[in-house]
Amino acid sequence: MPKKRDGGGLSKTQQAAKFLGVSVLAGAVLAGLALPAAGALGLTAKGSVEGFDDIPANLKTPPLSQRSTILDAKGGEIAKVYSRDRTVVDLKDMSPYIRQAIVAIEDARFYQHGAVDMKGILRAVNKNAQSGGVSQGASTLTQQYVKNVFIEEAGDNADKVAQATQQTIGRKIKELKYAIQVEKELGKRKILQNYLNITFFGQQAYGIEAAAQRYFSKHAKDLSLEESALLAGIVQSPSRYDPVSAPQEATRRRNTVLQRMADLKNITQAQADAAAKKPIKLAVSRPKNGCITATDGAGFFCDYIRKVFLTDKAFGKTRKDRLKRWDRGGMTIRTTLDPQTQKAIQASISDHVYEDDPVATAATIVEPGTGKILGMGQSRPYGFGENQTVLNLSVDDNMGGGAGYQPGSTFKPVIAAAALEQGTSPEQEYSSPYRMPYPSPVQTCEGQWQGSPSDTTQNENKREVGPYGMKEATAKSVNTYFVQLISDMGICPAVKMAQKMGIERADGKPLQQVPSMTLGVQEMSPLTMASGYAAFANGGEYCSPVAIESITDARGRALEVPRTSCRSAMSKKTADTINTLLKGVVEDGTGKEAGLRGRDSAGKTGTSDSRYAAWFVGYTPNAAGAVWVGDPQHKRKMYNITIGGVPHEKVYGADTPGPIWRDAMTGALAGRPAPSLPTVPIGNPDRDKDRGDDKGRDKHKPGRGHGGDDKPGGGWDLPDWPDILGGGNGGW
């Protein structure tokens, strides 16, 4: 007998259950006809609906979220990323055993009834009426599929998931109506296929293909009888029947499924008995999700791909749209990452800087003329453990990097290019004293910069005294030469040249229009510097960096991807002149330790004020790369420091970033063409004759210049002059 409330009569829940049972028996639900309003049934609890006819007729069926695969330029896998680990497969690609097993245990009358099972509902209604609540369901596979669609739509929103799974009469009515529609439009085969692709099997596996891979490291089409029964049994309670953590419970549940299959004549009793005697044999594949699983140090590049996707309007009008598209997944993303280059970068980094060193390094190589990012790596691995980080030290702040790092003298070629474009001769001489105040006033884009007598700069040591021409001043990285150059030229041409070369501050703020910009005092990222220098290698044409070659969605359709944007930053003559200047740096200047054997190369060393950062940025005709070494927190000065097992009294751009660049580029370009860099003749003024210090000049040995960027390789025994750059004026 049903329980009665005190005072007699059935409770509202019992009345609703009774009425629903009558309605089902009358065929109202199956016919899709209106049920009485919720108020008439007493269905006023949260989650109920006002009436059956008020429910929208069309069920929204979102594309199922799947894993996306990120590939390198050669088709090798970098990583799989997903919000839900799922691979949608056709019914024909599922073992017939799993199809039989899931029907047997979840909805044995699946092929006999319509959207709802009247016998099952009657049984549940009677049970629930007796208990005074909703203690038993009678959901068919179709209804379960509908509920899973609601859960899929809810995503990771806990409130929406709760609404999609709440045990209310209202939700069941909504589910029933949608089930009718689904049965009518999809048919049994498609419903079963969709159900097996959407349902959760535990261990982060959504859908039967992911489940087969997770538990047995095989495809769904290859599942055996006992494996299929095990997976079918998990669905009711993925945690309770998890074969990894609860093998005994999972075994009992599997055997229940096997017996049910035998009862329904899907298999013989002998088959069921034989399968039930077999112990569970798992071949678990642990979830590999996200950039943390990438090999060869490509985790940061992988993360950069995600940032590109979420910030580029090619993938959606709003960030919310783009995030939803990314989480939906199912994409194959082919990137520009060259595996040979990536391996070479990471190998070089590992040789020169250890992950537990007090400072870190980051390196990026791009392709001139295309903007393709060929490699990106750093010394501290991608992750959350000790000596690990998820901060991408190669990119700007808005793309997952930090505030950037002062590039020091690697910014001087930008000034030189701007001056050459203004008509300055590469043979232009300046007095270039050891120390000098900044000339004032200096023209800017908006007006004038006005300095004070305390705003001074100096060269690395007192022997650096001009006059110098541009070629020698570049090779030796003479600060006062470039301060005089920008003061004569004005700051605005330098700012505009940097903009045309894509060189901008890592924090996204405008370049400060001050003369000290020539010394590289404004923070940049390695990707920015590599892409800017690529313009020199490309005849003066700058191409914006790109990381994605192509994307196809789950149906194999190609998506539009962002393309590089190329523009003329300077004339070819100016670019060729810079080539000449920067070849001198690696052949007989501060960057000799970075020079490549057997191929033309050019580049520039740089260190920041107080040696918080050291750089080498250089290029060949087919690759341009930037290497930074320093403390990401901008706290550790690189004096009396050991990096990669090598002690340094001072760190220079030549002695640590230079060799990293050299080895990375050597490996990246191995077996590839070695074209020449176009150059122009530049005369060298005979300074020695004018100064009468040719004996001192003879002391200069290969590999050791003056500029503070050039420590290794022998050379003058320079006194340890203090790093004084009045007013924070940058470095060498």
| 339: nearest Cα among 368, 306, 301 | 301
Of the candidate ranges 150-164, 288-302, 331-345, the one whose mean pLDDT is the lowest: 150-164
Choose from 135-144, 172-181, 201-210 the range with maximum mean pLDDT. 201-210
On whether the CB atoms of residues 714 and 703 are closer than 8 A, the answer is yes
CA distances from 228 to 93, 224, 357 (A): 13, 6, 51
pLDDT exceeds 90 at position 344: yes
Q: In degrees, to the nearest 5, what angle opens at C-alpha 186 toward C-alphas 182 and 189?
A: 120
Greater pLDDT, 357 or 706: 357
On whether the CB atoms of residues 193 and 145 are closer than 8 A, the answer is no
Structure tokens at 5: 């409330």
Q: 393: buried, middle or exposed (CB in 10 Å: 19+, 13-18, 0-12)?
A: buried
Q: What is the pLDDT of residues 708-730, one digit of tens each?
A: 444 443 333 333 333 323 233 33
Per cent of the chain over pLDDT 90 is 66
Of the candidate ranges 170-179, 200-209, 369-378, 706-715, the one whose mean pLDDT is the lowest: 706-715
pLDDT exceeds 70 at position 132: no
Q: How far apart are CA 608 and CA 50, in angstroms?
A: 70
pLDDT of residue 22: 39
On whether the CB atoms of residues 650 and 611 are closer than 8 A, the answer is yes
Q: Is 607 helix (H, G, I), strand (E, B) or coil?
A: strand
Cis peptide before 510 (omega within 30 of 0): no
Question: Residue 138: beta bridge partners?
Answer: none
CA 518 to chain centre: 33
Q: How far apart are CA 614 and CA 361, in angstroms?
A: 9
Structure tokens at 85: 């680990």
Mean of the per-residue pLDDT values of the chain: 84
Q: What is the pLDDT of residues 442-460, one digit of tens each?
A: 999 989 999 888 889 999 8
Structure tokens at 178: 């949608």
User: Which residues lie below 8 Å from residue 174, measured CB to CB, with a gap of 6+?
Assistant: 49, 55
Q: How far apart are CA 319 and CA 304, in angstroms?
A: 16
CA distances from 24 to 127, 314, 327, 611, 631 (A): 16, 50, 39, 80, 71
Greater pLDDT, 376 or 702: 376
CA distances from 471 to 125, 425, 649 (A): 92, 11, 29
Would you give the DSSP letter of residue 643? E
Q: What is the pLDDT of residues 183-194, one digit of tens each?
A: 888 889 999 999
Count of Cβ atoms closer than 10 Å to residue 134 Cβ: 16
pLDDT of residue 20: 46
Residue 426 exposure: Cα atoms within 13 Å on the Cβ side: 22
Q: What is the pLDDT of residues 426-445, one digit of tens each?
A: 999 999 999 999 999 999 99
DSSP result, 253-322: HHHHHHHHHHHTTSS-HHHHHHHHHSPP---------SGGG-STTTHHHHHHHHHHHHH-GGG-SSHHHH
pLDDT of residue 170: 72
CA distances from 621 to 297, 374, 576, 665 (A): 25, 14, 11, 12
Residue type, 355: E
Instruction: Please state the rounded mean pLDDT for residues 99-118.
Output: 90
Structure tokens at 513: 């229009």
pLDDT of residue 53: 56
pLDDT of residue 280: 96
Q: What is the pLDDT of residues 266-278, one digit of tens each?
A: 999 999 999 999 9
pLDDT exceeds 90 at position 661: yes
Greater pLDDT, 402 or 145: 145
Q: How far apart are CA 70 and CA 299, in angstroms?
A: 11
Q: What is the pLDDT of residues 482-534, one digit of tens each?
A: 999 999 999 999 999 999 999 999 999 999 999 999 999 999 999 999 999 99
CA 95 to chain centre: 36
Q: How far apart are CA 2 and CA 178, in angstroms?
A: 31
